[in-house]
């Protein structure tokens, strides 16, 4: 009897899953395996919200497999060692998994390949599972990756997508392979109170609802903070409970300006991945350094703490930072504004902001998070000079009624727009009654105050 192993990573679904399909085609039985890799903790990118969401994903994957006559095998330890152990126990010939695009993922993949080949087994790594268009598929004439989104997108849009696979009817799993008990997360004090549920079932429910109501209006509503009309697919895309290939295909079939704008945003995921695949160090180092001498924990402790806890005195910034902690999620427009505020207005090292986001975001993703932070900090792929988003101007534009601010900052619940966005302009007595902090910095002198610290090195 032929047995193959499907190693699940950031692809926790049964629908449109090329490694699972290939494993089923190659063997009479498969072992669907997930390894809680101890080494992930050491990357510094693991976090309570994502661990809780992951528990939901695994529980749902397990029940999906059980409905099809199988089950999910979960192990803990060193990923390479555990996969080898399972391969031996099941006497499997081959292992199928999807490609990762961080340095951690590619190094781990190579270790696994060597270990398996030494044991006479084969590793198959599948592309186009966690992205629609894999890194390296399209490149500019002069480089191994695109550094500007628009020319990338023009080519990306021309790439023929592979067909989307359906959900397998039956998955038989050999009985002799054992694993840990799988159950949905029980919640803990570390986890955001309004964390969304994980798992492919929840993801597909969200797609159905969004396709019915949200997608058509995406172009017009995606930047409206109060409407909160975005898809909220991001955690599902991060954990792979949704397939990017399937989403792009379905959106294109749907058609219209909303679907087009939505597909364009999905292309940003692939764009950031092809940058990170070519420049893995961009997860921690400047992609294009400007030799900034950032303020740090040591020199800006109070400002950083005010930003983290949502007490900067800029209502929109504070609303967004509180939403992040409460939901483990933040509106994309708010991510740009809070990042600009920390990196450009407070002139704090983007890594400090990126680390805070990765701690709380349930969709926290090395490629998207780090490269978006770099984009906003001016060290990334955006070349435009000194782009500072003004938190008051942007608040009036994207939250004109102040609804978003009042939703997250109860101190300002009784203040109307436009003053809700600049409460320091309220008459003295009204302002004193608010119990809301004064701005940590004047917008006008923000950059000037720190610019002396910024200079080119010889």
69: left (phi over 0), alpha (psi -120 to 50) or beta: left
Q: Phi/psi at 213 (nearest 5 deg)? A: -115, -35
Write down the least CB distance from residue 447 to DNA, Å: 10
109, 303, 318, 382: residue in contact with DNA (rule CB under 7 A): 382
Number of residues interacting with DNA: please give it, by CB under 7 A. 31
Binding track over 413-452 against DNA, x by CB under 7 A: ------------------------------x---------
Name which of 98 and 381 has its Cβ closer to DNA. Answer: 381
Name which of 148 and 433 has its Cβ closer to DNA. Answer: 148
- Based on its alpha-carbon atoms, the radius of gyration of the chain, rounded to whole angstroms, reads 23
26, 390, 396, 419: residue in contact with DNA (rule CB under 7 A): 390
What are the angstrom distances between the C-alpha of 243 and each of 131, 172, 222, 387, 389? Answer: 8, 23, 21, 34, 33
Residue 158 binds DNA (CB under 7 A): no
Give which of 13, 124, 130 is closest to 63, Cα–Cα: 13
The CB density around residue 42, as the number of other CB atoms within 10 Å, is: 10
Q: Which structure tokens are listed for 206?
A: 């969200």
Tell me if 218 is assigned to a ligand binding site.
yes
Stretch of residues binding DNA (CB under 7 A), selected from 9-17, 95-103, 164-172, 329-337: 329-337
Q: Are 241 and 363 in contact (CB under 8 A)?
A: no
Tell me if 393 is assigned to a ligand binding site.
no
Q: Are 59 and 183 in contact (CB under 8 A)?
A: yes
Name which of 103 and 145 has its Cβ closer to DNA. Answer: 145
Residue 289 binds DNA (CB under 7 A): no
Order of strands across the sheet that contains 29-37? 73-77, 29-37, 3-8, 94-98, 122-126
Residue 265 binds DNA (CB under 7 A): yes
Binding track over 115-154 against DNA, x by CB under 7 A: -------------------------xxxx--xxxxxxx--
Q: Which structure tokens are listed for 318?
A: 């504070």
Stretch of residues binding DNA (CB under 7 A), selected from 6-14, 163-171, 249-257, 378-386: 378-386
Name which of 152 and 360 has its Cβ closer to DNA. Answer: 152
Q: Which structure tokens are listed for 156?
A: 């990306």
* DSSP characters over 389-426: --HHHHHHHHSTT-HHHHHH-GGGTT--TTGGG-GGGS
Residue 336 binds DNA (CB under 7 A): yes
* Distance of alpha carbon 30 from alpha carbon 72, whole angstroms: 10
Stretch of residues binding DNA (CB under 7 A), selected from 62-70, 247-255, 320-328, 383-391: 383-391
394, 420, 439, 450: residue in contact with DNA (rule CB under 7 A): 394
The binding site for DNA (CB under 7 A) comprises: 140-143, 146-152, 155, 265, 268, 288, 332-333, 336, 372, 382-385, 387-390, 393-394, 397, 443
Q: Which residues define the annotated binding site?
A: 218, 230-234, 262, 363-365
């Amino acid at each position: 009897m032929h047995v193959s192993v499907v190693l699940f990573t950031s692809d926790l679904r049964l629908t449109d899953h090329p490694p699972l399909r290939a494993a089923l085609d190659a063997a009479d039985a498969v072992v669907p395996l997930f390894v809680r890799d101890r080494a992930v903790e050491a990357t510094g990118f693991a976090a309570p919200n994502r661990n809780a969401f992951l528990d939901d994903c695994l529980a749902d994957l397990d029940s999906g497999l059980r409905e099809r006559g199988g089950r999910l095998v979960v192990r803990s330890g060193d990923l390479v060692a555990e996969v080898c152990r399972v391969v031996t126990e099941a006497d499997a010939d081959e292992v199928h998994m999807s490609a990762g695009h961080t340095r951690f993922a590619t190094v781990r993949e190579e270790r696994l390949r060597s270990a398996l080949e030494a044991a006479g087994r084969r590793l198959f790594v599948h592309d186009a599972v966690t992205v629609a268009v894999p890194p390296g598929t399209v490149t500019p004439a002069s480089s191994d990756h695109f550094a500007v989104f628009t020319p990338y997108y023009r080519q990306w849009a021309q790439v023929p997508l592979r067909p989307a696979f359906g959900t397998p009817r039956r998955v038989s799993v050999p009985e002799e392979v054992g694993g840990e008990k799988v159950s949905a997360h029980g919640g803990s004090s570390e986890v955001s109170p309004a964390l969304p549920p994980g798992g492919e079932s929840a993801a597909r429910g969200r797609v159905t609802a969004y396709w019915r109501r949200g997608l058509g209006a995406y172009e017009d509503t995606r930047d409206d903070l109060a409407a909160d009309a975005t898809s909220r697919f991001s955690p599902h895309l991060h954990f792979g409970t949704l397939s990017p290939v399937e989403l792009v295909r379905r959106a294109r079939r749907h058609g219209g300006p909303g679907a087009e704008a939505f597909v364009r945003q999905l292309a940003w995921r692939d764009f950031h991945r092809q940058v990170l695949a070519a420049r893995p160090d961009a997860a921690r180092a400047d992609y294009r350094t400007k030799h900034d001498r950032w303020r740090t924990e040591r020199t800006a402790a109070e400002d950083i703490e005010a930003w983290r806890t949502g007490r900067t005195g800029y209502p929109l910034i504070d609303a967004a930072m509180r939403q992040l902690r409460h939901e483990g999620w933040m509106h994309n427009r708010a991510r740009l504004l809070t990042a600009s505020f920390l990196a450009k207005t407070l002139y704090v090292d983007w890594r400090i902001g990126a680390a805070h986001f990765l701690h709380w975001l349930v969709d926290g993703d090395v490629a998207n998070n780090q490269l978006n932070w770099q984009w906003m900090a001016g060290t990334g792929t955006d070349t435009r000079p000194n782009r500072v988003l003004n938190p008051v101007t942007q608040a009036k534009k994207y939250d004109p009624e102040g609804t978003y601010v009042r939703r997250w900052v109860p101190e300002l619940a009784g203040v109307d727009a436009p003053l809700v966005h600049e409460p320091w302009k309220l008459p003295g007595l009204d302002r004193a009654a608010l119990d809301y902090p004064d701005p940590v910095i004047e917008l006008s002198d923000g950059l000037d105050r720190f610019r002396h610290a910024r200079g080119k090195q010889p």
